Structure 1
Amino acid sequence: MFDELKLLTHNPRILVILLGAPLLYLFIFGSVYSANRVSHIPVIVCDEAQNDLSWQITQAFASATDTFSLVETTTSESEVERAVREGRARLGVILPPGPDKVLLLLDGSNMIVANAALRGATDIVQGFALAQQAAFLTAPFPVLTAEARILYNPGFNYSIFLLYGLYGVVLQQVLFLALAMSVPTTPYYGHTGKFLWAKSVPYGLLGLWNTVLLVGGAVKIYGMPFLGNAGEFLLLVFLFLWAVLGLGLAITLFSPNSVYATQYTMLVALPSFLLSGYTWPLEAMPAWAKVVGHALPLTYFLHGLRELAVKGNSVALWWGDLVALGIIGAVGYIAALVGHWAFSRRVRGAENLPRTAPSPATGE
């Protein structure tokens, strides 16, 4: 035991991982949830009633800045549904003619946001209902009620909420681990382009197979929705693989061996799901977490997959995810090119050094 402790004290990299990683994740996980609640949920209000009560309700949503952010008002119900579908609003409030009803249209693709929006909207409506009851104790009057319609996940199904996200984590993790373990123990150098091509193609094809297998299995076996276009899905998968392979190769080529490559990729992969905004929204995270989240390929893949598969939106509404994945992949491959070139140069320089002749006396 003491010998092992002695070895650990002489290996600063392992000590940094053993002692530093828990502290790092303590800070990351604690800071991400430091807001304790989802706030500033974008809401659109459709005021068809155009009376004093509807105006007061609209102002109540506008002034509830801790929970909501009023982004738009309209008189068209179709515009409300369009805003929710396109992601411009997470909650649509429809105030139809008549004194007794408020219709709530919620984006249920993220259950955490939808629950917060439903709870906040219901509190506002109940506040007006209680005021009505107090004002009309002696005369019958219809009490204001809220009716909610949940889009994309009306039953608040946890499979629809989580399954695609977890599969995305698995796909990224498998590629990172495969690349890390593929680092040879002997020096590797030669033509950089051929090396990257040889590394990318087989792992990319396996990643494509795994993605189709997981998503197809989720749809066929577990009844997950897939409302989008298959061609757009393959384009999203291709760019996700491009980004993950580029990032993974860059990390691998700047690691001394497969053990360290595995450790470094784990440091990236472990917080990726949390920082992707797939469950806890990016809008509720501190500024530094948003920056890190926007630098991770999983963020854009999971957002695009949810938009495509769960909401059925075309690529016109999430093309920014494709651009971001392309940029991350390009940066990763450029870094990998530099890393491979530098490593090959060091190896060639070491091989060209003159060897020390054996000592005649000792033969060593």
Structure 2
Amino acid sequence: MNARSLLAHEWRALIQDKRLLATLLFLPLGYMILFGFLYGQEKVLNIPIVYIDEDRSVLSGQILQAITSSETFELMGPVASEAELIDKVKSGVAYAGFILPADLSQQVSQSRQGEVMAIIDGSNLMIANRALSGFQEIVQTYSVGISMKRLEANGISPEQSSGMHMGYRLLFNPGNSYTVYLLIGLLGTVLQSVTMLGMTLSLTRERAAGTKAWNYFVVKAIPYFLIGLFNVVVALGVLTQVFHIPFLGKLILLFGLALAFVLSLIGFSFLVSLFSKTNVQATQITMLLVYPSFFLSGFTWPFSAMPSWVSLMGHLLPVSYFLHGLREIAIKGNGWGQISPDVVALLAFAVITTALTFVGHSFTKRHNREDELYESV
């Protein structure tokens, strides 16, 4: 067969495989449209923050008003102490806090540099960098003399007023490290890809061979379940021991989260295999679902900055809950209270997908039996 015949044969085969052709032609466009909407807001807005105003002066009031007016921040309210502020940030109620010390206006009026402090959750660099730049913009604005007429009205001369300096502290990732930030997220994505691909290929192969017993598929899932747990432990060990990623939480919580995550992936794999007749189809569907999941998970780009329908897609992916829980345990050192919603969601996902697969399997089995009876008649 010459090159011309081979080319013609390949085109015919491609045109006949409608699923592959649609994947090649429309999937890149679909992903670009999806990611375009995902990042359409262009920057993170309405970051929830809390504050401490010990100065209670005109100046501190103006700074808080500027923060309130900024599209970057959503002011949640005051807290009583720095310990409470840090607790709010650690628990996820707020992503940052702002402290206006008691002598702020006095320092400025006496031609000394006023000091303010920002405390920021550094576990998500997108949010942390945006919060830091937003705070700096506001402080720099006042530092160069914006709104000095309001200060004059209260007896402070612009000639007497000096600038302000903002100190900041990044919690949970003080070095602002992309290694800490990204490797945790990639861990969940890689584990999801490997577990689902292996499981769906195995199940699809058995279905293609004519295996119909439901309990056989359940038993077949056990090795992949154990391998999934093993991979979680080994991968996290590599991150902590080789790349020195901090792990501040309790291992028992990680084990519980990993258990729920692997169960959800097995349920997801059951469902994918139900719609796959060949290993090629199983691979296509798995990659179609897995590839965008890291971007949709809320790990890098927060759900609050996505359109609602894109955020809904992200919330329908098990990796979203695993990555959130993993960050809460490993980077922030939080306990059961912060990860329990993630564990419940993952277990619910496992139950729902397994139940849907069981119903679909029973329907397919009954439909095939009816076809066999009809053919025998």
Report the TM-score when normalising by structure 1: 0.92
8 A Cα contact 1:180 1:259, kept in partner: no
What is the aligned partner in structure 2 of residue 188 from structure 1? 211
Q: Separation in 2 of the partners of 1:48 and 1:196?
A: 63
Q: Secondary structure at the match of 2:144?
A: helix
Cα distance, 1:352 vs structure 2: 4.8
Cα distance, 1:137 vs structure 2: 5.4
8 A Cα contact 2:328 2:339, kept in partner: yes
CA 348–127 in structure 1, closer or farther in 2 if over 3 Å, else same: same
- Equivalences for residues 188-337 of structure 1 within 5 A: 188-190=211-213, 192=214, 194-337=215-358
Cα distance, 1:281 vs structure 2: 1.1
8 A Cα contact 1:188 1:344, kept in partner: no
Q: Separation in 2 of the partners of 1:288 and 1:258?
A: 31
Q: Is residue 127 of structure 1 aligned with residue 141 of structure 2?
A: yes
CA 123–205 in structure 1, closer or farther in 2 if over 3 Å, else same: same
Worse overlay, 245-254 or 300-309: 245-254
What is the aligned partner in structure 2 of residue 362 from structure 1? none
Q: Separation in 2 of the partners of 1:263 and 1:108?
A: 36
Cα distance, 1:218 vs structure 2: 0.7
Q: Secondary structure at the match of 1:150?
A: strand
8 A Cα contact 2:143 2:162, kept in partner: no
Q: Separation in 2 of the partners of 1:23 and 1:188?
A: 37
Code of the residue aligned with 1:77 in structure 2: it is: E
CA 133–291 in structure 1, closer or farther in 2 if over 3 Å, else same: closer
Q: Secondary structure at the match of 2:19?
A: helix
CA 260–82 in structure 1, closer or farther in 2 if over 3 Å, else same: same
Worse overlay, 145-154 or 74-83: 74-83
Q: Separation in 2 of the partners of 1:13 and 1:222?
A: 41
Q: Separation in 2 of the partners of 1:234 and 1:138?
A: 61
Q: Secondary structure at the match of 2:77?
A: strand
Pick from 102, 108, 116: which aligns with 1:97? Answer: 102
Q: Separation in 2 of the partners of 1:138 and 1:177?
A: 68
CA 132–39 in structure 1, closer or farther in 2 if over 3 Å, else same: closer
* 1:309-359 C-alpha deviation (Å, 9 max, x unpaired): 000000112211111111111111011112222333344445556579xxx
Q: Is residue 23 of structure 1 aligned with residue 37 of structure 2?
A: no
Pick from 12, 29, 41: which aligns with 2:47? Answer: 41
Code of the residue aligned with 1:58 in structure 2: it is: L
Give the aligned CA root-mean-square deviation in angstroms.
Answer: 1.8
Q: Separation in 2 of the partners of 1:123 and 1:45?
A: 17
Q: Is residue 162 of structure 1 aligned with residue 182 of structure 2?
A: yes
Report the TM-score when normalising by structure 2: 0.89
Cα distance, 1:199 vs structure 2: 2.7
Tell me the number of residue pairs that the alignment of Structure 1 and Structure 2 aligns.
Answer: 352
What is the aligned partner in structure 1 of residue 13 from structure 2? 7
What is the aligned partner in structure 2 of residue 88 from structure 1? 93
Code of the residue aligned with 1:187 in structure 2: it is: G
Pick from 71, 76, 79: which aligns with 1:74? Answer: 79
Q: Secondary structure at the match of 1:222?
A: coil
Q: Separation in 1 of the partners of 2:118 and 2:255?
A: 35
Code of the residue aligned with 1:144 in structure 2: it is: M
* 1:22-80 C-alpha deviation (Å, 9 max, x unpaired): 1210111111111111101111111111111111111111111x211111212322221
Cα distance, 1:282 vs structure 2: 1.1
Q: Is residue 52 of structure 1 aligned with residue 58 of structure 2?
A: yes
Q: Separation in 2 of the partners of 1:188 and 1:335?
A: 19
In percent, how many aligned pairs have the same letter?
38
8 A Cα contact 2:145 2:163, kept in partner: no
8 A Cα contact 1:189 1:343, kept in partner: no
